[in-house]
Structures are given as C-alpha cells and as structure tokens.
C-alpha cells in the first residue's frame, strides 16, 4: 500500500507545476499549439516574452499553449518542487547481509515484528529490534533537464521529466536508492563562424550548379541564383540554452552568360528543390555545432536595385536530433515558417501538377 501511495505521489508530481520560468522569442515568429506538434492556436512575434510553467523534452507550456523552446531564450529551474510527502525511514543498528550498519532506507510496509525496507533498490524484511525508525518530509522535485545522480553505490542518469524525492538533508531518493547529489552537464555551444560560412557557401555552390545546368534554365536562358552568404549575412546568437543562427539567403535572376537581370523581380521556380536545399543547409549547420535553431531568412531582388524580405523558415535542433527530417515535406511541416506567396513563380496548383507529392 505504501509503495502504491509513493508511486502515485511521484506520478502526480509532474502535473501541477506552477509557472516558474520565462521565455523570450528569438526567431521571426513562434507558434503556440494545443499540444506538442498539435493544432496552431496563436502566433507570437520576435522579442515577445512568455511565461513558462513546465518543460517536456524541447516543448514548453504556458497558459496559451505549447511552444518549441529551441526558438526562445528561456530560464527555468533545473529542479522544480511540486509538492511534499512524509515518509517513514529506518536506520540499521546492525548489518543485514550485504547492507551495512548505519544504512538508512525507506519503509515500504510493516507487520507487528518487521519493517519492509528498501535498501539499494531491493526490499528487505528487517526486525524492528534491528533498526531505528523515524519520519522525514521529502520534497517532490521534477528534473527539468537530463542529469546524473551521484551516490556511494554508483551513479545513475535520469532524463528530463523524472520525479525525485529529496530529504531534509538534501539527499535524493530514486527507485529504492539514496544519492548524495545531482549534477547537470554543461551545455556545449561553440561554433566557428569561418567554418559555417565555408560550408554554407559550399552547399550554395552545389545548388547553383544544379540550377544552372537544369533543362529549365536551358529553355529560359536564365536561372535563379542564390548569392554567396557574406559575413554580415550570418548572425550567431549565443544563449545559456545553446546557439542559434540566422542566415540571410539572397536570390536573383542571372543569365546563362553570368549577367544579373536588373529590371525583373526575382521569383523562385520549383518549390520542392528549394525546400530540399533549405533542408540540407539546415542539417549541415546542425552538424557543425548549432544546437538551438537555424533560421533561413529569404530575400529576393526587387527589380529596382534592392532586396526585399519574403519570409523565413526556422528549424528546431532538438526536433531534428530526436526525429530527423525524413524528407522536404517533413522539414517544412515541423519548422516555423512564413513565406510570401509572391516569392514563387507559379501558383500552388501548378506546383502540385508539376512536382507531385513525392519526396
């Protein structure tokens, strides 16, 4: 019975955490959803602040819905107290098999002559004359980031969302064992700007080469070129939660002879090939140390000497790390995006007929 009560307390611990943190939107926009990957309920603009009441993997919750915390700079306690529970404990007055004298365990049940006590993850029948019982109030603490429990009998890794019990002396109790402390790994977030620029432009060169040599470019006599990304087109954002990057991609019509077309507004031809290019570029950056988000800001030549912003696509590192992008459609469906319809050369119906629904 006492084990059932303890399990119930631990299960309930994750369900009523009060608002304890905050988040500021870093990307162009952020979606609030009815549940993780669920229906869109609201869009929040860059720079806005949100209350953060709980975390689930890379999803945060506030009163208006769920959102991807990778797109924000957020603060949240590593351990969140959600309640307390009083438990009976027992300290051995003499050794019991391999359990040494002075060891303390949690009493899971008792009879007239014995206590059932959890030592080292196992239950033992301990004569009442062989131990000293006492009570202690444990706080119920939810681990909000993956961590390692450190103890005399060994260490144990625990994932985020795990509920622990902490006694009045600061020790942690988890699955029948006491641990002296808990450690959270340092988040690594170092990127090399020069390497990022080199790899971005390498992928751009490959994409441009494919566009230049395509049958469509041969028929038209021109193609859409992605301009090289310069130092000022790459913005790196370092936060306590990781590193995100903004990449400005500029598009312009060029003739097959290599001359820019100055009097025409640039529009992109094939949606699928551009989405595949953006997916590959994003994946490459995630592999080079970016561990928060990649936002691609899309600019096109406006036909009058400048470039205009036509929207963005931002992707979450932790979604990619856990699930990957199966194809271009999966990339778009699981990214934050807002792209101008005027960016594209054709209407959506034309793309559906020409490109189909393949991957």
Per-residue pLDDT of 246-294, as tens digits, reads 999 999 999 999 999 999 999 998 888 899 999 999 999 999 999 999 9
Contacts of 53 (CB under 8 A, 6+ apart): 17, 18, 19, 20, 21, 61, 62, 63
Determine the pLDDT at residue 57.
Answer: 82
Stretch 93-117: mean pLDDT: 92
Strand order in the sheet with 40-45: 40-45, 29-33, 65-68, 59-62, 54-56
**If you average pLDDT over every residue of the chain, what do you get?**
89
Contacts of 273 (CB under 8 A, 6+ apart): 210, 211
3-state SS of 20-39 is: CEEEEECCCEEEEECCCCCC
Output the pLDDT for position 191: 94
- pLDDT of 186 reads 81
pLDDT, tens only, 157-179: 999 889 999 999 999 999 888 99
Q: What is the pTM of this model?
A: 0.82
Share of the chain above pLDDT 90, in %: 74
Q: Kindly tell me if the per-residue pLDDT of 300 is higher than 70.
A: yes
> Under 8 Å CB-to-CB from 51, ≥6 apart: which residues?
19, 21, 22, 23, 62, 63
More confident residue, 80 or 6: 80
- Which DSSP string corresponds to 151-202? ETTEEEEE-TT-EEEE-TTS-EEETTEEESEEE-PPPP----HHHHHHHHHH
The Cα 129–Cα 126 span in angstroms is 8
**For the segment 218-250, what is each residue's pLDDT rounded down to a tens digit?**
999 999 999 999 999 999 999 999 999 999 999
CB atoms within 10 A of CB 136: 17
Q: Distance between terminal CA atoms of the chain? A: 54
Confidence of residue 353 (pLDDT cuts 50, 70, 90): low
Taking the C-alpha atoms of residue 67 and residue 37, their distance in angstroms, rounded to an integer, is 9
Give pLDDT, residue 346.
Answer: 61
Structure tokens at 88: 């009976």
Lowest-pLDDT range of 5-14, 57-66, 109-118: 5-14
Least Cα distance to 226 among 202, 257, 262 occurs for: 202
According to the model, what pLDDT value does residue 7 have? 45
Contact status, residue 299 vs residue 311, Cβ threshold 8 Å = no
Cβ atoms 140, 84 nearer than 8 A: yes
Q: Tell me the mean pLDDT in the region 287-313.
A: 96
- Stretch 311-329: mean pLDDT: 94
In this model, does residue 6 exceed pLDDT 50? Answer: no
Say whether 66 sits in a helix, a strand or coil: strand
Q: Name the band, by pLDDT with cuts 50, 70 and 90, for residue 216.
A: confident
Percent of the chain with pLDDT over 70: 91
Q: How do 293-301 and 242-255 pair as beta strands? A: parallel
Query: With contact defined as beta carbons under 8 Å apart, do 244 and 26 qualify?
Result: yes
pLDDT at 187: 75
Contact criterion met (CB below 8 Å) for 54 and 117: no
Q: pLDDT-based confidence at 351, cuts 50/70/90?
A: very low
- The phi-psi region of residue 357 (left if phi > 0; otherwise alpha if psi is between -120 and 50; otherwise beta) is alpha
């Amino acid at each position: 019975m006492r084990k059932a009560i303890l399990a119930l307390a631990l299960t309930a611990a994750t369900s009523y955490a009060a608002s304890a943190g905050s988040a500021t939107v870093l990307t162009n926009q952020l979606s609030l959803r009815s549940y993780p990957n669920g229906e869109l309920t609201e869009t929040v603009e860059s720079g806005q602040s949100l209350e953060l009441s709980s975390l689930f993997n890379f999803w945060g919750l506030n009163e208006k819905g769920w959102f991807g915390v990778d797109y924000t700079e957020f603060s949240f306690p590593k351990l969140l107290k959600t309640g307390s529970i009083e438990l009976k404990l027992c300290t051995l007055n003499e050794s019991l098999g391999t359990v040494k004298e002075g060891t303390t365990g949690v009493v899971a049940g008792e009879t007239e002559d014995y206590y059932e006590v959890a030592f080292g993850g196992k239950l033992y029948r301990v004569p009442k004359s062989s131990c000293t019982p006492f009570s202690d109030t444990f706080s119920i603490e939810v681990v909000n980031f993956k961590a390692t429990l450190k103890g005399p009998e060994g260490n144990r890794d625990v994932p985020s969302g795990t509920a622990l019990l902490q006694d009045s002396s600061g020790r942690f109790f988890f699955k029948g064992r006491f641990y002296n402390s808990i450690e959270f790994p340092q988040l690594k977030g170092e990127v090399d700007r020069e390497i990022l620029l080199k790899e971005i432009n390498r992928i751009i060169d490959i994409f441009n080469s494919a566009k230049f040599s395509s049958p469509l470019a041969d028929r038209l006599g021109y193609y859409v070129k992605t301009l090289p990304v310069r130092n000022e087109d790459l913005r790196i954002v370092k936060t306590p939660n990781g590193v995100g990057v903004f990449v400005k991609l500029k598009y312009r019509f060029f003739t097959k002879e290599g001359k820019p077309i100055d009097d025409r507004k640039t529009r992109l031809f094939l949606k699928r090939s551009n989405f595949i290019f953006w997916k590959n570029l994003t994946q490459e950056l995630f592999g080079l140390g970016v561990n928060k988000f990649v936002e691609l800001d899309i600019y096109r030549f406006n036909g009058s000497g400048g470039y205009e912003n036509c929207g963005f696509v931002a992707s979450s590192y932790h979604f990619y790390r856990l699930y990957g992008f199966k194809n271009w459609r999966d990339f778009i469906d699981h990214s934050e995006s807002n792209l101008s319809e005027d960016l594209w050369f054709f209407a959506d119906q034309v793309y559906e007929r020409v490109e189909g629904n393949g991957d």
